[in-house]
Amino acid sequence: MLHIRIVPYQEAEAEQFIRIEFNFQISDTGTISIHMAECSIGALIGGLKEDLRSMFGDPAHQEWFHRTRKLSNDKTLKSSGIDGRDRSFVQIYVRQTNPDTWQ
């Protein structure tokens, strides 16, 4: 006996990316560099810090801020309120908490 199971077609969702402008700051000296990147809104903040290690140094010594809110390593961009609805780029401020360890 042949059994056929019909599964409704489900359209896969495309992963959404947003353009982010990273403004890198060391202590209170101000912004020293700007880096643009396309990032998935599903990416974990901690993973992005690791991916950008060569630009911003040790992730353990980085603090990331969007507007006035500090971003948590265990949250995604989307769960941090960065959803990509704004058509322009998003700004994230990166501060090195221990400048002596910056590579």
**pLDDT at res. 29:** 65
Domain holding 51, by residue range, is 21-81+91-101
* Cα dihedral value 23, 73, 14, 4, nearest 10: 170
**pLDDT at res. 1:** 54
* Residue 62 within a domain: yes
- Tens-digit pLDDT string for the chain (103 aa): 555 556 555 555 667 888 999 988 766 666 577 889 899 999 999 999 999 998 888 999 999 999 889 999 999 999 999 877 766 788 999 988 875 654 4
CA distance 21 to 90: 6
Q: What is the tally of structural domains in the chain?
A: 1
List residues bridging with 24 in a β-sheet: 33, 94
Are the beta carbons of 56 and 96 closer than 8 angstroms? yes
* Residue 5 within a domain: no
CA distance 76 to 92: 13
**pLDDT at res. 62:** 92
**pLDDT at res. 48:** 95
